[in-house]
Chains A and B, each alone.
Chain A
Amino acid sequence: MSNIAERNRQLLHFIVLPTLLLTVVLLGGLRVDAHTKQFLFLPPPLVTLLSAALLAVLFLRAGALELHRWLAIEQPLLVNAAHLLTLLALFFASAQAFNSVLPEQGLLHGMFSFLFLWTLWTNQFAAFDARRLLRSLMVLFGTAFVLKHLLISGLDSPKGSWLGRLTATVLQGVSITGPGFAPATGYISFVALAIYVMALMLVMPPPVEVSSSSEALLLGDSVARTDSLNPRPEDNQN
């Protein structure tokens, strides 16, 4: 039984987790043009890389990422290399998650970028643990998703919603939104964010030590349940 659990843990840690993160990297920049229905792959803008860097620091400060468990001199080179790639995938997945909910251009691009950076910067000085950080990120991305794909996309609607007409009247001559995208873009973004949150649950260690897997299940917290997925130096010894 422990052999099976061990193998599953290894599979999740070395194969499933990087796959999830890289899928976010792939989908985070994918848009579908409203008119031609063609794919557009947008690489992460500089501001999303900066946001991802701030988020990485936040992960470390909150203890969501315990770097000494991921990269350690005692671990074999193969394990360190795999972990390094996973961490890189996490960084770019974070950047693409921001890219996914950031308006592409116009006034709102600037506003969203500023708000992301401001939130991440102020969070650097707040007391966080892994669980609270995960919830905070879910709220941050959830809010940005709703604003971009539900409210702002209405501004681009060909029929023109009342919100669109009102905003166009208030901000005459100012480009507030970017190019129009098909509704499929919102679905793709939703899937990308869902996968990102799922991957974060696999990455983050529990806020409190859980002594056994049964106890973890009793806690009913997905974060706690992932205790066994985090790299432990003793697991990685061959």
Chain B
Amino acid sequence: MACCFIIQVGMNKRVIQITGLVWTIIYALGIIWIYATQPRSLKEVATNTQLAAGVYEVNQEKFNNGLGLFRRDQFRAAREEWAAADPAQHDPRTQFYVAYSFYREGWGRTYDDDQLFKEGLTAVNRAIEHAPGGSLTVDDPDLQMHTATELKVELEEGTERSWSDLNPMKLFRQRK
């Protein structure tokens, strides 16, 4: 009887020690992760946790709202919706559309808005970074550029300075 009691006490001790060790490691890793990812709010902590757990999903309703606004050329409002739909800026398709909205808003017949094009470039780079295999194709008949690479090249060319900028034929080009 006494022997059983001693064994049980020993078992309990070991369980507590193992639990403590595992819990300490998990908590310490959690802190390192928080300091590495630098979340700016509790909501962002939750988003980062979803990302780490692989269960992050875009809010489809907000995405569709943004798409509707985008098609009506309300680009800023569309980006607001997409920012809410993809708060982690991790969904390649949403980031592609964000970049496209910067392109369409910044495009001009005589000159392009460099600042908007640069922001578009940042967004399209995010899309390429998070796309599986670094390649992204969006089948949307409303768009004239369907791959992230095409969009990236267009945005890069828009921010570059060259003699072709002085070509008067540029006045007849079309927005994509």
Report which A residues bind B (CB closer than 8 A): 3, 6-7, 10-11, 13-15, 18-19, 22, 25-26, 29, 36, 38-41, 43, 78-79, 81-82, 85-86, 89, 238
Q: Are B24 and A10 in contact (CB under 8 A)?
A: no
Contact flag A82-B17 (CB < 8 Å), given A18-B24, A39-B41, A238-B10 = yes
Docked-complex contact A82 and B21, CB < 8 angstroms: yes
Interface of A is mostly: helix
A10 to B15, CA, bound (A): 10
Sort A-B residue pairs by CB-CB distance and give the 7 closest, nearest first. Answer: A14-B20, A38-B40, A18-B24, A15-B20, A10-B16, A82-B21, A22-B27
* Distance between A27 CB and nearest chain B CB, rounded to angstroms: 10
Q: A15-B20, A26-B34 are in contact. Are A85 and B25 (CB under 8 A)?
A: yes
Complex: A25 Cα to B31 Cα, angstroms: 8
Identify whether the interface residues of B are mostly helix, strand, loop, or mixed.
helix
Which residues of A lie under 8 Å from residue B19 when comparing CB positions? 14-15
**Residue numbers in A under 8 Å from B111 (CB-CB):** none
CB distance from A237 to the nearest CB of B (A): 9
Residue of A nearest to B42 (CB): A39
Query: Within the assembled complex, what's the spacing in Å between the Cα atoms of A19 and B17?
Result: 13
CA distance A137 to B140 in the complex (A): 65
Residue tally, chain B, CB below 8 Å to A? 24
B39 nearest CB neighbor, chain A only: A39
- Which residue of A41, A82, A85 is within 8 Å of B28 (Cβ)? A85
Which one, B24, B39, B41, contacts A82 given CB within 8 A? Answer: B24
Chain A-chain B contacts (Cβ-Cβ < 8 Å), number: 71
Please tell me if the beta carbons of B13 and A81 are within 8 angstroms of each other in the complex. Answer: no
User: B17 contacts A79, CB within 8 Å?
Assistant: yes
B38 within 8 A of A: yes
Q: Using CB atoms, name the residue of chain A closest to B24.
A: A18
Complex formed: what's the CA distance from A82 to B16 in Å? Answer: 11
B2 CB to closest chain A CB (Å) equals 12
B35 near A22 (CB under 8 angstroms)? no
From A11, A41, A85, A86, B38 is in contact (CB under 8 Å) with: A41
B40 touches A89 (CB 8 A): no
Q: Is B12 an interface residue (CB 8 A)?
A: yes
Indicate whether A18 sits within 8 Å of B10 (C-beta atoms), given known contacts A26-B31, A26-B34.
Answer: no
Instruction: Please pick, from B17, B31, B40, the residue contacting A39 in the complex, using a CB distance under 8 A.
Output: B40
Q: Closest B-chain residue to A37, C-beta based?
A: B41
Do residues A38 and B41 form an inter-chain contact, with CB atoms below 8 A? Answer: yes
In the complex, the answer to whether B13 meets A238 with C-beta atoms within 8 Å is yes
Which B residues are in CB contact (< 8 Å) with A6? 9, 13
B16 is contacted by which of A3, A15, A19, A39 (Cβ under 8 Å)? A15
